[in-house]
Every structure is written in C-alpha cells, then in structure tokens.
Chains A and B, each alone.
Chain A
Amino acid sequence: MTTMIKENAAVIKVFSKFGIASIGKILAYAIRHPFTAFMALLEATKEPESEDTPPQYDIPAFTSEMEYYRGDEPYLRSTHAICYTDPNVAALANRLGAFELNKEEYAKRSFGWVRDNIRFGFSTAQSAPEVLEKGRAICFGKMNLYAALCRCAGIPARFKLSTIGVEANMINFVGSGMEENLGKLYSLLLDAISSIFPHFMLEIELNDKWIPADPVIPKDFAPVLNYPITMVGDDPNRTWAARYDEKYYILEDYPILLEMGFKVAFKVLRNLGYMVNRRYDELIPKDKEILEGAGGIEGYNKRFEKSYEGKSKDLNSIMEKLMSSPDELGEEHAHGKP
C-alpha cells in the first residue's frame, strides 16, 4: 500500500512539472482561437470511422503444465498491471521459451516479440493482459507486457519514471497526415507540452546488472523515422528519445493514476487516437521495404550507426556524459600537437 502511494505520488510530481504550463498553453490557445479549438475537439472526440485492426497473432491457450514464477519479491511479483498470473500472458511467456531458454536468450526473444507484435499507438489497453488482447498500446502498455513476460520467467523488471524529449520527426510525421482541425489539435497538444513527455524506462536485471529494455518502437515503425531498431540493453536515448531527465523515480508497478488518466484520455479523444494510429500503420509497408533493402534488422542497425542520425546520437551520448561530469573534466586533454 505504501509503495502504491509513493509511486502514484511520483507520477503526480513528474506530471505536475510540465502539466500546469501545458494546460495553461492549451487554455490560452482555446481563448484566442475558440472556433478552431471547438471544431478540433468535436473532431477528436467523435466516433472513429472503424474499429482498430485486431492483432495479427494468436494467443496460445494456457495449459496446466505451463509454469510461471511464484515468488513475491519486489520487481518479480505479479501486480495489477504487470500481471503474469493472467493465463494468456503466462501462456505467451511459456511459448516464447520462458522455462526452456536461458534468461538472456528469453529476454531477447520476448523483447523482440513485444517490440514488433504490439503496434505502437493510442489505445485504452494498459495492463499486460489488456495489451496482449488488443495488440496496440502506447509506451507504458508495451512495457507492462514486456515486464510481465520477464517477471513470469523470474527476470526482475522495474520502471524508471522520468521525462523525455521526443524527436521532432516523429511528431511532425504523424501530425502532417491529419485532417486540418485534428492536425491543429495534435500540434497544439504537442506544442503545449513542448515535446516533453513523462516516460518510463524499463530496466530488467540480467547477470546481476540492471539494463535498459525499451520495446516501444516496432521494427516496422523505426526506419521511416530514421531511428535504429531498439535491442535489449539499448538506452532509448540512443534510439528514439531525445533526452532523459537526470531525475527519475524507480517504480515497481504501473501507477493507477497513469492507468486511469490514459484510459480516460484515449476514451475521450478516440478519433484523434484513431487518426494517429492510422498514420502509424501507413508507415509499415515503407518500413518493411527499407528493412529488406538493408538486409534485415542487423544490417539496418549497422547502416544507422554510420549515418548522420547515428553520429548525432553518438555525440549526444558524449555530451550527456560531459554534462553530467564535473565542469573541469576534459580540460586536461593535451593529446594534439598542432
């Protein structure tokens, strides 16, 4: 109970950091452009043209001989959102080799499964079982499912709650394909929060070391936006996120406040969500073509490393290290002899 209160309090802290200013900006815009704001809101909240497409995978059936982790330790136990006692989640973990492969191999395999099979997008699905059923989720939902698959196999998983910057190409690409008023609303929302989002970084413990595991961006979404394909151990700052806030909170579970907040938001803004998802889905054929052209994920990632965007990421990592070091660091360099 205490943990739950603490974790929800952390959510309030992180969200209030950017929330007050963002709401102020949105209200200011609505006052200046009441007609556009009203039309956009009508557009965003209307019934979508169609239902979201169902997932492209089968969920295996749970059988009595299947196993799941039965301990109650922090970061390993099943919780309301990271729920691996759910038969579907447990069955998937078993099918992915939770008790056959070694932990590292299983972590990689299940990571790839969540990354590529759960489409990224707006969805009311939040907990691991919901996400598995719907086949689409935002970052938090995808991480809940992956954390559940890890814990189910006895691999500890935890969240680091913080804020990130999302690179402009992701935002612009999605916004550019929208109907006029919705596009304005989308840009407004993103502009209002200055591209800074609260985000989890999921960490799993392998070989006594906590490492990042961010299965958010599917392989069929990354190439068009010039992102590398994320693997287990990759810091999202090296892949799709622009910058992590240095301050973060370690969480064991998905806080209920977040779950409720996103459920309500995606329920209300259902057409906006539908349009965003449709835009994401439009990327898939082009992404597949790029990946095939590069010879698959490995070839694509190698090419990315050498690219302009890859070099930019290298430099960002270097600068982050320098910025977090004492100011004097590096002043003693004297290797060049001009």
Chain B
Amino acid sequence: MAKDLLRERLAKYTPPKERWTPVDEALYGVDDIYNVPEGKAKKLRKNAIRYSFAHHYNNKFYHEYCKQNNVSPDDIKNEEDFKKIPLIPSSFFKDHPPAGPDFIKWLRNIYTGKLPEIELSARPTYDEIIEKLEEKGIIMTHSSGSTGEFTFIPRDQITLSRLIYSVHSTWFNLAGIDSSIYYISITPDPRYNFMTACVCQKGVYDIFDNAYFAIEQKLSLQSKGSDRYVSNFSSIIERIRANSQSGKKSLVVSVPLVIKMLSEEIAKTGNLILPQGSFVLVSGGSKDEEGKIIKKSDLVEDIENALGIPPHNVRDMYMAAECNSLLFSCEGGFMHIPQTLMEPFVLDEEMEPLPYGSEGRFAFLDPTPNSYPGFIATDDKVKFLDHCPVCDRPGPVIEPPITRMPGAEDRGCARAMGKLLQGI
C-alpha cells in the first residue's frame, strides 16, 4: 500500500494539522514511527512526553500522586528528567469498585478531563455503563487476567484515534502488510466488543478490502457459563483454505492458543500453502488451556506446516491494556518500540531504571493517551537491548520472550478466547 493511500484510509483517525499537539506531531508527522533518525526521534519524543505529562498533571488521582512524589511539569525539562515521572503500577487499573455509582466515581477520578455525564439504571451492569459511555464517545476498553478481574481503561476519541493510527501504520511499516490482503481475525468483532485486543483492530474495516472476524456478536461482561456465541471458526478455516487455493494473501490474527488450535485443525484435513506475503500476527498470553507455555518455536513450526507461512512472517504484537501504542516484532522476532513516541524502561525492584542488556520490569512513558495517564509500570518481565541485532531500524528493542513478573497474574485473554471458540 502506498503511504499516501494508508494516510487516505486512516484520514478519519487523523486530526487536522492545525490542531496537532506535540503528541500528534510525533505520531502523524513522521512516515514511520519505527524508523526516524535518532536526533529527530528524540526531539519529537521529548516534546510529546513533556506535553503529555503536563496534560495529565491535571488528572485528579495523578495530580495527587505527582504531589506525593514531589514532581511537577516544571521538573521535566529533558530526557534525563523522564525517570522522575511517577509510574502507575498497571494493577491500579484493576482495583476498581464493582459496577455501580462508585465505579462511575472511580472512572471520574482516573479520567483526565471531565467524564461525560450518563444516566444509569438503579443497579447498572458493566455492559450498561460501557454502552452508555460509548454513546458519549468514550470506549471502555477492558481486559481480564486469569482471575477474571477486569482492567478498565476509558479511551476518548483522541486516544482511540491515536491507537488505531499507530497500530495500523505499524503493520504497514514494520511488516509491509498491504490493503489487498485478506484480513482474518479470530477474535470478537471490534465494532461491538471493546476488549483491548479487539479495539486495536478497530481500523481494519477502513484499511483492508476484506476483513472478517470470528465472533460478530456482542459479548457480555456478565457472561454466564450457559451463554453461547456463534463462532465462524469453521468457516474461517474454509476461508483460509479458499484463499490458499485462489492464491489470495491472508493475514490471520489471534492469540497463540487459538492459532495453535487453528493450525492443528487445518493439519487434520490437509496442510495448506498460503501465498507469499501472508502473515500470522499473535498477541496475548502464551499459555494453553492447561496453563502450559506455548513455545514460540513450536507455534512457528505448526504455522509453517499447516499454513505454509514462513517464520519471519509470524509476528508478535505486545500491547498491555494500559498501553496506547503497539510493540511489534520485526522479521528477526525482536520487539520494536515506537521510537518517536514511547520512552521505555526496564526497572529493578526499587523501580530504578536498569541499563541495556538487563532483565527486569517493563515500564513505559506513552504520551498518546489523552484520557488517562500512559506512564505505566507493567507486570511484564523483559530484557532490553539498545538496538536490534537483526534489522537496522534505530532504537531499543525487547528480546523475546516477554514473561510475567513473579507473583503477577497471568494474562487471561488467550484462554478466554480459546474457550469462546471451543464452546461453539
């Protein structure tokens, strides 16, 4: 896809240039957020983060947190000062009251700006709150860990547009995926479902000529064991088979467990060879139904056997629920960080940054969220390198695998997705 065509198709997610803030400059103002000369990237990143910090300094809870840490926007002048920016443990967004008036109050406190007023029933459910906020332009993205507790992040239209633009331009820039590819996502449809993994696919209907989702229904957060959803899993296999026969490139997106299930299912009825330029993108927890780790090398081998997609076209995406940008693996499997936007850290036990080559807790300053502060210490354990050992794109990378910190809850989305598809 030509760059201009990408911009044209993503136009609805791009604000007019005269309204650009330093954050927008860093995102929309460059051709490829992963490949900008270091000096320029540094300047864009610095301006974006400084702007974002000053913006979120007005957020209620974050303002108090900054005061407690004796940090104000005046203290953040250059990149060396970034480590002073107070980081929010990701578990914070999981510790909310149950659906009800207190939950709305909690949202008001974590939301930067004024949360739109909504009218709720006497005993509202999460579904009702999500629906009412959506009517007011707020998308309540959510994800759940293995305990089933939800993380909620309110994203306004600015935040959402930046997320969609950043994700889709990443696919184009880092993988060269073009609009003619047949987009097949074995996830719920992002038009009706706001799991973080779904929401970041919200732009696919605008970008790809053909986009297809496994579950087109709206899923309930109050889902009971007896709920049944109609899945297109079997027809997806047929679609992939048809694409293989007609020579149409396919882009298959899901969690590792589902991709494993897909590969096994296809292998039962005869392996396929998808045309060159086909991709598999995986994201989310890497455990199977029994809690065992699905090894990347095994998964890549299964995909190559079942779909004929070579290992360098099996890409990982990392996106924490609180993150509004995407970390995406290059052809060598190293996770690249959007260079003009995000300041990454690897932290020791006392939350102090470690040098390159160290392993520790992953944290980042993401300036792209407008409705919540994107300065997050995650529950993920990573190893950080100052440059990619495989490709020549500038900036630091994360060496796979990304694991969980000791004591942290497992990501639950992959298993939830697997169950959804199996129960169908």
Residues of A near any B CB (own CB < 8 A)? 168-169, 226, 242, 303, 306-309, 311-312, 314-316, 318-319, 321-323, 327, 329-331, 333-338
B112 to chain A, nearest CB (A): 10
**Which residues of A are found within 8 Å of B86, using beta-carbon distances?**
311
Tell whether, in the assembled complex, residue B361 and residue A308 are in contact, meaning their CB atoms are under 8 Å apart.
yes
Tell whether, in the assembled complex, residue A322 and residue B64 are in contact, meaning their CB atoms are under 8 Å apart.
yes
B75 to chain A, nearest CB (A): 12
Tell whether, in the assembled complex, residue B73 and residue A308 are in contact, meaning their CB atoms are under 8 Å apart.
no
Task: Name the contact of A338 in the complex, choosing from B54, B147, B349 (C-beta under 8 A).
Answer: B54
Which residues in window 28-44 of B have CB below 8 A to A? none
Task: Name the contact of B61 in the complex, choosing from A319, A335, A338 (C-beta under 8 A).
Answer: A319
Comparing B102-110, B123-131, B213-221, the segment that makes contact with chain A is B102-110
Tell whether, in the assembled complex, residue A331 and residue B351 are in contact, meaning their CB atoms are under 8 Å apart.
no
B225 to chain A, nearest CB (A): 12
Tell whether, in the assembled complex, residue A306 and residue B147 are in contact, meaning their CB atoms are under 8 Å apart.
no
A-B contacts, 11 of them at CB < 8 A, read A168-B147, A242-B95, A307-B350, A308-B351, A311-B87, A311-B351, A311-B377, A312-B92, A316-B92, A321-B64, A338-B52
Tell whether, in the assembled complex, residue B102 and residue A323 are in contact, meaning their CB atoms are under 8 Å apart.
yes
Complex: A322 Cα to B321 Cα, angstroms: 24
A251 to chain B, nearest CB (A): 27
A319 to chain B, nearest CB (A): 6
Tell whether, in the assembled complex, residue A323 and residue B407 are in contact, meaning their CB atoms are under 8 Å apart.
no
B176 to chain A, nearest CB (A): 35
* CB within 8 Å for A318 and B114 given contacts A311-B351, A329-B60, A330-B60: no
**Which residues of B are found within 8 Å of A334, using beta-carbon distances?**
58
Complex: A337 Cα to B53 Cα, angstroms: 9
B173 within 8 A of A: no
**Which residues of B are found within 8 Å of A307, using beta-carbon distances?**
349-351
Tell whether, in the assembled complex, residue B377 and residue A308 are in contact, meaning their CB atoms are under 8 Å apart.
yes
**Which residues of B are found within 8 Å of A309, using beta-carbon distances?**
89
Tell whether, in the assembled complex, residue B56 and residue A336 are in contact, meaning their CB atoms are under 8 Å apart.
yes
B155 to chain A, nearest CB (A): 19
* CB within 8 Å for A314 and B351 given contacts A323-B102, A323-B105: no
Complex: A334 Cα to B351 Cα, angstroms: 28
Complex: A336 Cα to B373 Cα, angstroms: 13
Tell whether, in the assembled complex, residue B350 and residue A323 are in contact, meaning their CB atoms are under 8 Å apart.
no
Closest chain B residue to A294, Cβ basis: B349
Q: Which 5 pairs between the two chains have the least Cβ-Cβ distance?
A: A336-B57, A330-B60, A336-B54, A306-B350, A338-B55
Tell whether, in the assembled complex, residue A322 and residue B61 are in contact, meaning their CB atoms are under 8 Å apart.
yes
B16 to chain A, nearest CB (A): 18
Complex: A330 Cα to B53 Cα, angstroms: 17
Complex: A144 Cα to B269 Cα, angstroms: 69
Tell whether, in the assembled complex, residue B61 and residue A337 are in contact, meaning their CB atoms are under 8 Å apart.
no
Task: Name the contact of B106 in the complex, choosing from A319, A321, A338 (C-beta under 8 A).
Answer: A319
Closest chain B residue to A306, Cβ basis: B350
Task: Name the contact of B60 in the complex, choosing from A308, A331, A337 (C-beta under 8 A).
Answer: A331
Tell whether, in the assembled complex, residue A318 and residue B64 are in contact, meaning their CB atoms are under 8 Å apart.
yes
Tell whether, in the assembled complex, residue A314 and residue B68 are in contact, meaning their CB atoms are under 8 Å apart.
yes
Complex: A327 Cα to B115 Cα, angstroms: 12
Task: Name the contact of B63 in the complex, choosing from A242, A303, A327, A333 (C-beta under 8 A).
Answer: A333
* CB within 8 Å for A306 and B51 given contacts A311-B89, A323-B102, A337-B73: no
Tell whether, in the assembled complex, residue B65 and residue A314 are in contact, meaning their CB atoms are under 8 Å apart.
yes
Contacts A309-B89, A318-B65 aside, 8 further interface pairs with beta carbons under 8 A come to: A242-B95, A311-B86, A312-B95, A318-B68, A319-B106, A335-B58, A335-B72, A336-B53
Complex: A72 Cα to B346 Cα, angstroms: 59
Complex: A124 Cα to B56 Cα, angstroms: 52
Complex: A314 Cα to B114 Cα, angstroms: 24
Which residues in window 78-109 of B have CB below 8 A to A? 86-89, 91-92, 95, 97, 102, 105-106, 108-109
Complex: A333 Cα to B89 Cα, angstroms: 23
Tell whether, in the assembled complex, residue A323 and residue B106 are in contact, meaning their CB atoms are under 8 Å apart.
yes
**Which residues of A are found within 8 Å of B347, using beta-carbon distances?**
308
Complex: A65 Cα to B109 Cα, angstroms: 59
B245 within 8 A of A: no
Complex: A201 Cα to B329 Cα, angstroms: 50
B358 within 8 A of A: no
B210 within 8 A of A: no
B21 within 8 A of A: yes
Task: Name the contact of B89 in the complex, choosing from A168, A312, A321 (C-beta under 8 A).
Answer: A312
B197 to chain A, nearest CB (A): 24
Annotate B14-30 by CB proximity to A: 1 below 8 A, 0 otherwise.
Answer: 00000001000000000
Complex: A315 Cα to B54 Cα, angstroms: 19
Complex: A334 Cα to B73 Cα, angstroms: 12
Complex: A155 Cα to B252 Cα, angstroms: 69
Tell whether, in the assembled complex, residue B349 and residue A318 are in contact, meaning their CB atoms are under 8 Å apart.
no
Tell whether, in the assembled complex, residue A319 and residue B55 are in contact, meaning their CB atoms are under 8 Å apart.
no
Closest chain B residue to A318, Cβ basis: B64
B100 to chain A, nearest CB (A): 12
Complex: A331 Cα to B407 Cα, angstroms: 36
Closest chain A residue to B114, Cβ basis: A331
Complex: A337 Cα to B52 Cα, angstroms: 10
Tell whether, in the assembled complex, residue B350 and residue A303 are in contact, meaning their CB atoms are under 8 Å apart.
yes
* CB within 8 Å for A337 and B65 given contacts A311-B87, A319-B109, A323-B109: no
Complex: A323 Cα to B101 Cα, angstroms: 11
**Which residues of A are found within 8 Å of B349, using beta-carbon distances?**
303, 307
**Which residues of B are found within 8 Å of A168, using beta-carbon distances?**
147, 409
Complex: A314 Cα to B56 Cα, angstroms: 18
**Which residues of A are found within 8 Å of B92, using beta-carbon distances?**
312, 315-316, 319
Task: Name the contact of B73 in the complex, choosing from A306, A331, A336 (C-beta under 8 A).
Answer: A336
Complex: A314 Cα to B349 Cα, angstroms: 16
Annotate B202-245 by CB proximity to A: 1 below 8 A, 0 otherwise.
Answer: 00000000000000000000000000000000000000000000
Complex: A226 Cα to B405 Cα, angstroms: 13
Closest chain B residue to A169, Cβ basis: B407
B127 to chain A, nearest CB (A): 21
B370 to chain A, nearest CB (A): 10
Most buried by A among B64, B73, B95, B352: B64
A309 to chain B, nearest CB (A): 8
Closest chain A residue to B347, Cβ basis: A308
Complex: A308 Cα to B350 Cα, angstroms: 7
Task: Name the contact of A333 in the complex, choosing from B54, B60, B106, B351 (C-beta under 8 A).
Answer: B60
Complex: A308 Cα to B64 Cα, angstroms: 17
Complex: A313 Cα to B204 Cα, angstroms: 39
Complex: A315 Cα to B349 Cα, angstroms: 18
Tell whether, in the assembled complex, residue B102 and residue A308 are in contact, meaning their CB atoms are under 8 Å apart.
no
Tell whether, in the assembled complex, residue B61 and residue A315 are in contact, meaning their CB atoms are under 8 Å apart.
yes
Most buried by B among A322, A327, A334: A322
Complex: A316 Cα to B147 Cα, angstroms: 20
